[in-house]
Amino acid sequence: MSHSSKLHKNRCLLYNQGLMPYLEAHEWQRSLQGDRIHDPNLDDVLILLEHPPVYTLGQGANSDFLKFDIDKNVYDVHRVERGGEVTYHCPGQLVGYPILNLQRYSKDLHWYLRQLEEVLIRVLAVYKLQGERIPAFTGVWLQGRKVAAIGIKVSRWITMHGFALNVCPDMTGFERIVPCGISDKPVGSLAEWIPSITCEEVRFYVAQCFAEVFGVEIVESQPKEFF
């Protein structure tokens, strides 16, 4: 990287959204990714939002990890093109969808996954909590409980999907699945350690730590192309 480009940080547009249906957010990500495949010079984006209760399965995910009949259920279930197994989203879980052009950073998916983990480990450190990685698994753990799941999809080095951090969700929805296909490691939420924590305050730290880890300038923005 030349000296001058170090001085000019990449901009990353921050779209802070509220509660958004999963399929609407998915469609939005795909359109942002498509725009950037078409024009790689567009700014990177970080979307932060929450979803109404929904189960999603990664591309090769095993539906045996659902503890209910996928055809006779009352829950929203979607199979999508990210990597990873089944996961659960609901209010109180902060979801981040970075739409990044990895050609600006590193064309290495393992590097990218570790950077996403690093963002969340730094967020936990703000609260004096020691987030951990477990070799061979993707995500972030806190005292043996998985508090953040990560699953990505990359096309022509443009990313979509991302991470989900359990801030203060109703955890009962996780009882109906084997989260991420890992049966012997429980899920947890930050509220177990910090009862008063909210997604609202955590958003701020996620954006800040994301800017640090990726070396970008966060620009709070209102999306115009989608709504």
Could you tell me if residue 99 is inside a domain?
Answer: yes
How many residues belong to the chain? 227
> Cβ-count burial of 224 within 10 angstroms (0-12 exposed, 13-18 middle, 19+ buried)?
exposed
74 strand-pairing partners: none
Residue bearing tokens 């620009």? 219
Question: What pLDDT score does 3 carry?
Answer: 46
AA letter at 1: M
What's the token pair of residue 212? 């640090």
Asked if 16 contacts 203 with a C-beta cutoff of 8 angstroms, the reply is: yes
Could you tell me if residue 1 is inside a domain?
Answer: no
In this prediction the pTM is 0.92
Looking at the structure of the chain, the number of domains it has is 1
CATH of the domain at 196: 3.30.930.10
Question: What pLDDT score does 2 carry?
Answer: 45
Pick from 164, 185, 171: which is nearest to 119 by CA?
Answer: 164
Could you tell me if residue 120 is inside a domain?
Answer: yes
pLDDT bracket for residue 6 (50, 70, 90) = low
- For the stretch 139-148, what's the b/e string if a residue is b when 16 or more beta carbons lie within 10 angstroms of its beta carbon? bbbbeeebbb
Q: How far is CA 28 from CA 35, 157, 203, in A?
A: 11, 18, 20
Asked if 170 contacts 92 with a C-beta cutoff of 8 angstroms, the reply is: yes
CA distance 132 to 93: 19
Asked if 52 contacts 88 with a C-beta cutoff of 8 angstroms, the reply is: no
Question: What pLDDT score does 225 carry?
Answer: 58
**pLDDT tens-digit profile of 129-146?**
999 999 888 999 999 999
Could you tell me if residue 25 is inside a domain?
Answer: yes
- Host H or E run for residue 216: strand 216-220
Could you tell me if residue 76 is inside a domain?
Answer: yes
Pick from 223, 161, 164: which is nearest to 190 by CA?
Answer: 164
CA distance 125 to 114: 16
Could you tell me if residue 50 is inside a domain?
Answer: yes
Could you tell me if residue 225 is inside a domain?
Answer: no
**pLDDT tens-digit profile of 171-192?**
998 888 765 665 667 899 999 9
Range of the domain at 60: 10-217
Could you tell me if residue 190 is inside a domain?
Answer: yes
> Cβ-count burial of 165 within 10 angstroms (0-12 exposed, 13-18 middle, 19+ buried)?
buried
Is position 209 annotated as part of the catalytic site? no
Catalytic member of 12, 90, 168, 180: 180
